A and B are shown apart, each in its own frame.
Chain A
Amino acid sequence: MRLSLAGVLGVALLAIPSAAHAAPCPTFTNPVFMQVGDTQENLLKTLGVATVADPDRALTIVYVTSGSCTNIDAIYANTQLASGATVKYVPAGLNPTAAAPTCQLAAAQALDIANSALFVEACTAAGTPPDVVTFHEGPKQAYAFVVPEVSNETAITAEEAYFAFGFGDQGGVTPWDDETQMFIRTPTKSTLLALAASIAVPGVKWQGFMFDKSTEVVAALQTATKPQKAIGILGVEVYDKLRGSLDALAFQAYDQWYAYYPDSTATATDKQNVRDGHYFPWSPTVWMVRDDAPHLADAERMVGLILGTVSPTGYDPLAIEIGVGLVPDCAMMVSRELEAGPLSVYEADEPCHCLYDSIATSTTCTACPAGTCATGTCVHGYCEE
C-alpha cells in the first residue's frame, strides 16, 4: 500500500483556498533563475545573501524548488517558469534561517540553472541530455533515515530498510511495520531515489506515506502519533537544522560490518563518515546550465562559486557550503561514479580538509594567512599536508 497526502485528505485538500498571490517581483540585480531540489534551499539562501552583495558581480538568486528528476526534465526541455508563477528570491540581508520572500513573475522566464541532488542517471526517465546542457558536479549531499527524538532506535541496516520500505506492513521489521508512520517522498525526489539505490528498493516500489516536500516529512515526524514506529527520510543538511527534535539513524550498508552516522558520532557535525566512505548514502549535487540560458555568464559564475572555481571578494562559497552541511569535493576522501555505486579512494588536487574541519568542528591544522607553510601547501587558509 502506498499512501499520499492527497490520497488521505482527498477532497479536503481541494477545498483549501489557494494561497494569496505574491506581490509582483521587484527588478532584480543580475538575476539568476534556478530550479533546485528543496534540500538545496539552505545553500541558496546562505549563498544568495553573499552573492547579492558581491562587490565583484552582484547576483540575485531567484528560485523554485522541485524534485531532482523534475528539474532535470525542465532543463532538458527548456521548460520556462510560467508568467504569474510564484518564485522565491534572496534579497540583501536575508536571515538564511528565515523563509525567502516570494513574488510573482510578470512574464515567463527560462531557467538559467537546474539542480539535481543525485546522479542524473538515477532519474530513469531523464533520457539523453541535449547537447546544449552542461553538467557540473558540486558538493556532496548525504541522506538519512530519521526518527523522532523520542524514538529508541539508533541504527538501521540496509536489509531492515529493504524489508520495511519494500514490503511495508508485511515486512516484519520491528518497530518499522506501520506504513502510516513511514514518511517518504515521491519517486522524483533525490532523497527517496538516493536511499532507494542504497537499499536496492526501486523508488516506485517504496511503501509508506508519500510527501512532496521535506518540510512535510519533518512535520509528520515531529507530530507522529506513534513515535516509536515513526521513520522518515531527509537530506542530512535538512536534518542538521532539526537535531533538537529528530535523530538521524546510523546506516549499515550491504557488505558493511557496522552502522555509522553521517558524522563521527551522533552529535558531531564533521561529516567524517560521508567524507571517508563509512556512511554510504550520499550523492553529488549536479548543477546544469544550458548554453542558451538567458543569463549565461551570470549562471556560469554562480556555478563557479558553487564549485569553488571562482574566488569572490569578501566571502568563501566553500565555507558557506560546509556551514550548511554539504561536503565540497575538496573535502572528500572517497568518490563514486554512479548512484550508490562503489567507492574509491579520492584526493582533490587542492584538498580542503583543514578548512572543512575548521568550520564544521575544529582543526589542528596550521593557518597560513601569509600564504606559506613550513610543511604542506597553503590551501584555503590552512596548511594541508
Chain B
Amino acid sequence: MKTLMIAILFVVACGKDNPADEIDAGSGSDFDAEPIDAGGPIDADCVTDPVTSAQLMNACTTAQRIEKHPVLPLRLPDGGLPPLP
C-alpha cells in the first residue's frame, strides 16, 4: 500500500467546460523551463489538440496522473538546476 504523499488524480480532462474548476497545475512547470505554448488558457491543466512536444506531454488524457512538488535544496534561487559535479 502506497502512502498518498502526493495527489493521485484520475482525470477525464478533454472537453472540460471549465478547466479552472479542476486542480491547480501550478501553471505547468515550476522549474527552469522555457514557457510552453499550451494552446489554451494559461491555467488549463491539460492541452487539447496537442502538436508540439510539450503539448503532447501535457495533452488531455484519461490516464492516471500524479502531481508532485518535491523539495530540492540544491535547486538554484531562480529555480534552475546547478551544474553537475
Contact = CB atoms under 8 A, between A and B. Distances in A.
A201 B83 CA distance: 10
A98 to B, nearest CB: 32
B54 interface: yes
Contacts of A172: 72-74
Interface in A139-176: 152-157, 159-160, 162-163, 166-167, 170-174
Contact of A343 (B57, B73, B81, B84): B57
A264 B75 CA distance: 31
Contacts of A256: 29, 54, 57-58
Interface stretch (A56-64, A247-255, A351-359): A247-255
Interface string A312-348: 0000000000000000000000100000001111000
B56 interface: yes
A163 B8 CA distance: 24
Which secondary structure characterizes the binding site on chain B?
loop
Interface residues of B, number: 42
A157 B68 contact: yes
Contacts of B73: 172
Contacts of B8: 154
A343 B84 CA distance: 26
A368 B31 CA distance: 49
Contacts of A6: none
Interface of B: 2-3, 5-6, 8-9, 25-26, 28-29, 31, 33-34, 36, 45-46, 50-54, 56-59, 61-68, 70-75, 81, 84-85
Interface of A: 152-157, 159-160, 162-163, 166-167, 170-174, 200-202, 205, 247, 250, 252-261, 264-266, 272-273, 276-278, 280, 334, 342-345
